Structure 1
Amino acid sequence: MGSISPPWDMALELIVSRPPQQAKEVVTEALRFGYRHIDSAASYKNEAGAGEAIREATDISRSDIHFTSKARLITYDDCKAQIEKSLSETGFDYIDLMLLHCPYGTSEGRKGAWKALVEAQEAGKVKSIGVSNYGIHHLDQLEQHISELEVERGGKGKGGKINAAQYELHPWCAREEIVKWCRARDIVVEAYSPLVRGERWGDARLVKLAEKYGKSEAQILLRWSLQKGFIPLPKSVTPARIRSNTEIYDFELSEADMISLETNEYAPVCWDPTVAALESSPQ
């Protein structure tokens, strides 16, 4: 129970603000095309729809589907309550991976929220735990919190372990320092917005590689993510694109082509809580 080892290289990230019924339709379609890793969150307000689609997929064992959710309010009581709500909304006996969605708030709040995750993992309500959008300073502090909780809760391992971390990752926001920090601790790295919300379509490097490999620009970016060792989380509600996103296992980018996609840019297209101060207002 203390580690995450999903056998899937790619997940479907449900789109923020999509209502439960549309979420159900998207997840149903994704499962039909072979997706087995579904990423949701409390703030997406679609856990119920995703859960319903997974429960109704009677030809697929629940144990073969990896479901992720995230707690948005970072305090002990709020995180504990959210875990119970997520279980109720989805109708599941357990959540495969529960993340703290952001580091906003206080040191006390983050420590308490992490403790709630650890307790839920110990109780079997959550299989794996982790964080999303934590900067290096937040991660360093979390390690300190884990050490403190080991002392407070009775010994080695009682503070929990970061099993997974999720970030916006793509060639224009590679976050090499954060990835290195995670790799050194055997933390699974998940990449959201790997397609940069389509904002880089037409980039000369992408176009060149798409033509070379006979693939779409989206497929080139997903392949880049896989070869970086990430679990990419592409978004889509279009059946054709959901299917297209899976067609990335029949080619491999050369080392030179991987290098050609490297940039020195730091240009996130989503929110960026990694830069938040250690003491910040909840957002």
Structure 2
Amino acid sequence: MRFHRFMQRLGLVACASFSFVGLSLAAGALLGACGAEDTTSSKRVALTTRIVADDGVEAPFTNAFGWSIQLDRASISIGPLYYFDGAPIFSSRLSPRAPRRDALAGFFGIGVAFAHPGHYQPGNAMGQVLAPFSVDLAKGPADLPPGDGVAGVYRSGRFSFGDPAALDGFVVVVEGRATKDAMTRVFRAEAGVDDVLDAYGEPKLDGCVFDGEPDVQEDGTVTVHVKPSVWLDQVEFDAVPESVGEDPAPLPADGTAFRAFTRGLEKGSAVVFTYSAQETM
């Protein structure tokens, strides 16, 4: 029952209970329940998927409180990824096109619904990666399981946090060194699934930017850019205990530093998607 509830949070079980629902393209088990028919006529594309940390790994970054932060570990458990043609939540410049339920919803088995005015409107489902994965971004870029998509303009995406069992009960674990003037903190920050729930009670980031709004017409690579600097930008390390030797000191779960860290994890600006077309020989 606990696992069932967790999968519901990832949007993989219920068809009508969430505003935005993602279902398996391969299984299509709930397609009929959602009232969609697989009448897809759009061109299908294969999408290789990669993930990379944009900052804090190869070189330190400085947060809003003047702490210089260098990460030694940036582990993250990743759930399903979805791509849409609706404008990202940070932009009001574009409105999503009217849903093409006969093509895209049928193709992905996704019931697309519009949010209330002023909220993120995903529009049409354009692509997805369903297989879970966990990775330490401090070790460099990593290949995620392959994805599927249809041709068209990609404007925004959904990033889901994955199964905490992959990281010993957490969905994000970061370790590093923060320095400011004569102070140094060797720290460890751990976040569980309950620390990354959105307003709908789901462990996901909706409305992330798809950089450049690519018009995808052929097979290619989607790269997921994660920005740990956003996670730690508002963390004030003064109150974090000094570590003993080189062992990192955990951020106290009841402290302001930990709360600032989890607020950073909930920011959609921490994830940006990009697309590059497959190189031809």
Q: TM-score range by the shorter chain?
A: under 0.3
Q: Which has the higher strand share?
A: 2
- TM-score normalised over the length of structure 2: 0.22
Q: Which has the higher helix share?
A: 1
- Greater Cα radius of gyration, structure 1 or 2: 2
Higher relative CO (Cα under 8 Å, sequence separation at least 6) belongs to: 2
- TM-score normalised over the length of structure 1: 0.22
